[in-house]
């Protein structure tokens, strides 16, 4: 399978500005049996969204915008006094595309010139690794893509958007699980909500985004195919280990992710001790 998934169009070579990030953190987490915002459930003894913010900082993001909604004051309190974290508000749950668009007013500077990279990530994915984001950013910059996605191949893709490719293995688009045909449901390569965009191109696409016919929501997963249709370059790299994709939708899933997260911390601490021994 080719890892250079693009059409024949190319974007402009980006300038080396520090990237920014939009973290989608307005989810309710209805199946968590709690009124707490989903991203505030703890993994490793702290709100899970903190791990996503840490990964963004480690990859060099100068600005991190959290899109908040339900009980937003609780999320804001976690990051009080942290000058690199800003907030945008999504009052209604109208999809990931709508959530990202809610942050647009904070990106006026990035929209004025091409090549300003902005990650769009889910706040409920604490197993994210900074080196995955670094690999995405490097591919994005070296190819001049307007969008770079990271994918993962997992045994049970239920609930995830599928990475659809043509007969030559080239990326065609992302299809949300509920919109998949029976054949597409069998695809095991998924989109785990890891994307980096040219900010100006992304917000232009979001302005023209149409609601999903089935749900009425606006999905950011429609943006890559739209960019391809306009002749722009979109890259996909299979860079996300299956373990990192684990969903957190129930208390049992939260416990499993917490176990993995803590085990990683223990392993990292042990490695550090061996280095300094």
Catalytic residues: 31
3-state secondary structure 39-69: HHCEECCEECHHHHHHHHHHCCCCEEEEEEC
- Element (DSSP H or E) covering residue 171: strand 171-175
DSSP per position, 229-269:
HTT--EEEE----GGGG----SHHHHHHHHHHHHHHHHHHH
| Residue 18 near residue 117, CB atoms below 8 Å | no
User: Which are the contacts of 177, defined by CB distance < 8 A and separation ≥ 6?
Assistant: 157, 158, 159, 160, 161, 162, 185
* 86, containing H or E segment: strand 85-89
Q: Which residue has the tokens 């040219």?
A: 198
- Cα distances from 263 to residues 67, 127, 140, 171, in angstroms, run 29, 11, 31, 35
Whether residue 127 contacts residue 246, with contact meaning beta carbons closer than 8 Å, is answered with yes
In the three-class reduction of DSSP (H, G, I as helix; E, B as strand; rest coil), residue 27 is classed as: coil
* Nearby residues of 263 by Cβ (< 8 Å), 6 or more positions away: none
CB of 117 closer than 8 Å to CB of 107: no
């Amino acid at each position: 399978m080719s890892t250079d998934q693009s059409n024949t169009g190319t974007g402009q070579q980006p300038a080396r500005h520090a990237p920014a990030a939009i973290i989608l953190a307005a989810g309710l987490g209805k199946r968590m049996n709690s009124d707490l915002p989903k991203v505030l459930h703890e993994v490793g003894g702290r709100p899970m969204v903190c791990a996503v913010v840490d990964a963004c900082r480690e990859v060099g993001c100068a600005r991190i915008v959290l899109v908040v909604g339900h009980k937003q004051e609780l999320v804001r309190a976690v990051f009080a006094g942290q000058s690199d974290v800003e907030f945008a508000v999504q009052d209604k749950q109208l999809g990931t595309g709508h959530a990202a668009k809610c942050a647009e007013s904070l990106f006026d500077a990035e929209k004025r010139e091409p090549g300003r990279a902005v990650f769009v990530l889910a706040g409920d994915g604490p197993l994210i690794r900074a080196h995955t984001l670094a690999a995405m950013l490097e591919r994005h910059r070296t190819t001049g893509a307007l969008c770079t996605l990271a994918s993962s191949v997992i045994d049970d893709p239920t609930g995830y958007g599928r990475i659809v490719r043509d007969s030559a293995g080239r990326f065609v688009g992302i299809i949300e699980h509920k919109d998949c045909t029976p054949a597409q449901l069998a695809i095991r390569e998924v989109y785990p909500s890891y994307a980096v965009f040219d900010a100006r191109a992304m917000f232009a696409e979001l302005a023209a985004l149409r609601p999903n016919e089935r749900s009425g929501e606006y999905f950011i997963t429609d943006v890559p195919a739209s960019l391809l249709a306009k002749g722009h370059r979109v890259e996909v790299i299979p860079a996300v280990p299956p373990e990192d994709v684990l969903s957190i939708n129930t208390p049992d899933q939260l416990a499993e992710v917490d176990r993995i997260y803590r085990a990683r911390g223990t392993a990292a601490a042990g490695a550090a001790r061996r280095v300094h021994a």
